[in-house]
Structures are given as C-alpha cells and as structure tokens.
Amino acid sequence: MRQILFYYYNINFEIEYENAYIYILKYNNELFIFKRVEIDFEILKENITILNNYHIRFHNIIINTKNELISTIKNHSYVLLKVDKTLENNWIDFSILDVDYHTIDIGSIWIKKIDYYTKVIGENDNKDIMFNSIFHYYIGMSENAVAIANRLKNNNVSLKRVLEHKRVDYPFNYLKYYDPTEMLLDFRIRDYSEYLKSKILKENINIMNEYQYILSVNYTNDEINILLARLLYPSYYFDLLDRWLEKEIDVSELLKFTDVIEKYEQFLKELVSKLSERYSLYIIDWIKK
C-alpha cells in the first residue's frame, strides 16, 4: 500500500493503522486518512461546496497526482483526507446549514433495504434460531419506521434539508464528523437520531436532558415524528449485519443484540411518553404498552 500511496500522492507515509477499508497515516507530524468510499462524486462535490459556502472547516481531500479527488484501486474508490486536528474538540451543529425543503420519502428507501436484507438472509445457510429471531425483530422495527414515514409522505409533508451525516458516533468522533465523505443532504433530525442510537448502545440516557434539548432546538411536530421513525429504524443493527455479510465480523457480534433490545425498548417508551406531552405522535401500539 505504501507504494500505491506514493504513486498517487508522491508522499512516503507512515501507516499507523489499517484494515480493508481505511488507513490511518502520518507524515511530518500531520495526520491523514486514506479510506475507501462509495459516495457519488457529484454528491461529494456538493458537500464540499456547502461547507465552503458556510465557511465550515473540515478535513480536506488531497488531490492526487492525476489531479483528481478520487483514487481508484482494484475497482474501488479511495480518497486521502488531511485531518484538521484543531477540530478535535470543536463541535458545530450542522442543522444550521440550510439547503432546501424536500418532501419526505425515506419510507421507500427503507423498504428497499428491508427487501434486500430479507432476500439475502433468506438465501443464507445460517439457521441459528437466535440469529433469525433477532433479524426478524429488527425487520419488524423497520416496518414500524416505514409506517410512520409513509404517513408523513401521504400528508405531503415537506421539511428542511441540511447537511447531515451518515452516522453520528457517541462519544463525539471528530475524525468522522468533519469528513465530507461521511455527509449527505437529509432532514435536520437525522444527526440527532443517529447520535441517540449510538449513545443508548453505550450508556443510559437521561430522558429529561434529551427532552430539554429537543425543546431548545424547536423541532416541528413533523420532525419529531421523523425522529421517532428514525429511532425505530435499526441502522446500528444493519451496519453490523452488512459487516457480517462481508465476513468482517463473527455472528456472535450480532447475537449480542439480545442484550440491547429490552434496554432500547424501554428508552423508546420513556421518550415517547415524554414527547407525547407536547407533540402529536404517530404512535406504534407496542410502544404504549
């Protein structure tokens, strides 16, 4: 890999860490990330344009020796990011980066995901009862999420879109947060919902603290319903399922979700109970029980 990096960038990097998708590099006391990406090139350019227009600092992509943002290795796309280490403790709320308004149709995206996973797992030889039980549980959660999203779509709800992130880690991970290849246009509730999902998997959540934060941001009633839908959609589980399908992790990592389900359901019920005092929610029956 060092030879490939030199070919594309004329730099002899020190490789600090590597796996199949990412390399952490150092050169002259500077930190770099060389990573595989699937983001559409036009979307990446749009992300960078928005960040520049709002004067938001981010990890810059280094142009390669071919004067291109993307480097191709074995039919995969890679980018080299120069990490801005001054951003390590500098959190910015991306919900201020207004772009446009858009009609809600995330339900159709989720349906395609559900169909894909159902097909792939159905063709898989794994007959473990616990594995299949957890899988179907999360497919059910996803269908609940779709039901809420489709109600908003049928009501022709249009919401503000901003520059958000595929995932938001808890605790705060500035390496990913300021990476333009990890960003996308979406409704401004996305980052907060992904943050909550990451947080509840790692520690207990104080519902009152989160409720006060929600009130301070002044989300609309429709945005709160999208929050509920996104909390029901188990992106955290599907991320690991993808890694298992790619044979990166053992099935035991997926079976650990048996310890998460009860805790997560309790969190949802408490949050919904509190939100219902102020907002009109599209409640899923089992959450009220």
Q: What is the pLDDT of residues 195-248, one digit of tens each?
A: 999 999 999 999 999 999 999 999 999 999 999 999 999 999 999 999 999 998
Residue 107 and residue 150 in contact, taking contact as beta carbons nearer than 8 Å:
yes
For residue 152, pLDDT beyond 90 = yes
Which residues 6+ apart lie within 8 Å of 235 measured at CB?
Answer: 167, 194, 197
In percent, the amount of the chain with pLDDT more than 90 equals 92
Rounded (5°) CA angle 261-264-265 = 85
Instruction: Taking the CA atoms of 174, 82, 17 and 176 in sequence, report the sign of the dihedral they define.
Output: positive
- Give the confidence band of 124 by pLDDT, cuts at 50, 70, 90: confident
Rounded to the nearest angstrom, the gap between the alpha carbon of residue 195 and the centroid of all alpha carbons in its chain is 9
Q: 122: part of which helix (H) or strand (E)?
A: helix 106-123
C-alpha 77, offset from chain centre: 20
Q: Which of 253, 224, 255, 234 is nearest to 140 (CA)?
A: 234
117, 238 contact by CB (below 8 A):
yes
| 3-state helix, strand and coil shares in percent for the chain, rounded to the nearest 5 | 50, 15, 30
Q: Evaluate if pTM is beyond 0.85.
A: yes
